[in-house]
Structures are given as C-alpha cells and as structure tokens.
Amino acid sequence: MGEPGIDGPVWLPLLPPSLGEYLAPNIQPVPLIPALTLLAAAFYLAGAISLWRKGRRWSPVRTASFLLGCLAIIIVMGAGIEGYGLRMFSIFMFQQLTLMMAVPPLLVIGSPGTLLLRSTPHGRFGRPALRAAIWGLRSRWGRLAIHPAFMVPLFLLSFYGVYFSGLADLLLPNWYGHVGLEVLFLAAGILFTVPLISADPLPTRQTHFGRMLDIFAEMPLHAFFGVVIMMATAPMVKFFATPPAGWSLDPMQDQGIAGGLAWSYGELPGVLLLMFILVRWQRDETRGWARADRRSAVAGDPELDAYNAYLRQLANRPMRRQ
C-alpha cells in the first residue's frame, strides 16, 4: 500500500490538484485522526443530549462550535486534501494552519471539559472518567501544559523547529511521522488556545493582560515565518521538492504559496482571538463594576463612608478665632 517516497498505508491522488479533488471524499487507507474526531463528536453530542433530556441547560452555540471544529478536522484530514498534503508544501501548510489556528478555538469554545463534568454519570462507569478529569485539573502537569513558558515555545517550535531543523524531512516520508506531525500541530494549537479563551475549569487562569501578551508575542513571529518561506530561493523541505510528475507542479511556486498562507491565513485567527479576549475583558470588567455597585448599595462602601465621616468631622469642628 506504500507509494514511492512514502512508507506506510497512504494513498496519493493521480489527478492534478484542484478544488474539486481537494474536497473529494477520498479517504486514506487508515483515517486515524478523522475516526477519532468522529468518535469525539459523537461523545460530545451524546453528553449534550443527555443534559437536554434532563431539562438542564447547555448552549447550542457551544455545541455547534465544537461540532464545526470536528467537521473541519474530518474534512482537512479525511477528504482528498490529505492525499495532496502528502506531497504538496502549500496543502500541508494549509492543513497545519487549520489544525493549529482555526480548529482549536472552535473546539475550546465548545467547553468540552465543562460538558464532561456535567453530563458524566457519577455511577460505577462514570466515576473513573470524573476522577481522571479532576486529577488533570489539579495536577502539576496540567498547570505546566498550559503555562506560557511551555505552550508558547511549543507553538513556535511547531513552525521554526519543524522546518528549520530538518525534522520535516525526517518525518514526512513516513506515514507515522506525517500523522505524528499533524497530531503535534493540533495539540500545540489546543494548548495555546485553552488558556486564552477557555471557559472550562483550569488549574490556573491567566489575566486578560497576560493573554494579550501571549497573542502579541506569537503574531509577529508567525508572520515572520511566512515571509522567510516566501523569500527562500531554494526548497526548505527537500521532501516537497520532487512532487509527482503527473501533477505538473512547480515546487518553488508551491513553496511561495505555502509562505503566503503562513503570513495571511495564519494571522487572521490570531486577530480574531485578540478581539475575543478584548470583548471578554470588557464584559468581565463591566460585571465587576456592577457587582461592586450592588454591594455598595446594600452594605455601603467602608472607605467612602469613612471619608465622608472625616469630612463631616472637619465641617463640625469650631472655627478658630483669628
């Protein structure tokens, strides 16, 4: 089942690349990640339905967001685009950017952790899952995984480390390495996105200012990576330098498209994340002011009351004769 230059159970398209071929339902011999994604979508939908049947609220928007993220993974890695991504730098870059930048926000907005805690039964079969989830929330490994000192370098390593160290040429000729890189991209994107916008219970939670710093630290380096690829005068990944002859593909032109995608398509999700953080920051500040006003109306403001008492004391003090 192997193809020339690729070891493992892979299928390469014969027709030249086109939009129709990218979206064609040409599933790979072992669609591992699409199958796992379909299973995750089924479990999520089952949990949401169980809450609805019990009369408990669960947001349809969250459900739609998570399922849309799953659908994006299935299309990007389960349709014909996966076959072309095996030998085209531009398509592989599109898959990487989608898995790292577009899919994680959709999955995280779905709040799968909260749904797990609310919908899992507390009986004999659900208790191990709940214990594992609570352990993950309380463990030091959970704090480390979403700490900026770990997840920001991991996110950038998925770009600079993979392509500038020769790791791509080492792993891409093998089906296991190719799928392993795709899993790395998805995991890095999720770990980067969770502390930024997740509403699930987390071991630690960053401030809004800290989240903005993470976004601002990632965006220019991400854009610079795309510019470097576009300006390169030689193939950066030797594996993509010899595409199948039947595809009539210019490797350097394809590499330029990959760089353009990294510079443009990769920046848009970052801008949207930044806007999301700003909107949530403003909303949380407004809620905090409203709570403070309610507390002041009920119990008063001790500092303000003390200051007013001090002013009254000064006003009632007898005037000294000159």
- pLDDT (tens, 9 = 90+) of the chain, 322 residues, equals 444 468 888 888 888 999 999 999 888 999 999 999 999 999 999 999 999 998 899 999 999 999 999 999 999 998 999 999 999 999 999 999 999 989 999 999 998 988 888 888 776 666 777 777 777 766 777 777 777 777 778 877 888 888 988 898 999 999 999 999 999 999 999 988 888 888 777 777 777 677 777 777 777 777 888 888 998 888 889 999 888 888 888 999 999 999 999 888 877 777 777 777 777 777 776 765 555 555 555 555 566 566 566 666 766 766 555 4
Domain that holds residue 283: 19-316
Find residue 6's DSSP bridge partners.
3
6, two tokens: 């690729």
Residue 7, in any domain of the structure: no
Residue 322, in any domain of the structure: no
Residue 94, in any domain of the structure: yes
Instruction: Tell me how many domains the chain contains.
Output: 1
Residue 109: name the closest of 47, 143, 39, 61 by CA: 61
Residue 264, in any domain of the structure: yes
The CA distance from 202 to 294, in Å, is 28
The CA distance from 188 to 14, in Å, is 32
The whole-model pTM stands at: 0.81
The CA distance from 213 to 211, in Å, is 5
Distance from chain centroid for Cα 83? 24
Residue 69, in any domain of the structure: yes
63, two tokens: 């459900």
Distance from chain centroid for Cα 271? 13
Residue 4, in any domain of the structure: no
How distant, in Å, are the alpha carbons of 222, 263, 300, 315, 322 from that of 309?
57, 61, 13, 10, 26
Report phi then psi at 194, rounded to 5: -55, -55
Residue 259: name the closest of 38, 93, 32 by CA: 93
Q: CB under 8 Å to 165, separation ≥6 — which residues?
A: none
Residue 9, in any domain of the structure: no
The CA distance from 228 to 45, in Å, is 42
Residue 301, in any domain of the structure: yes
Instruction: Give one word for 6, left, alpha or beta, with left for phi > 0 and alpha for psi -120 to 50.
Output: beta
- Which residue spans within 126-198 are E strands per DSSP? none
The CA distance from 49 to 60, in Å, is 10
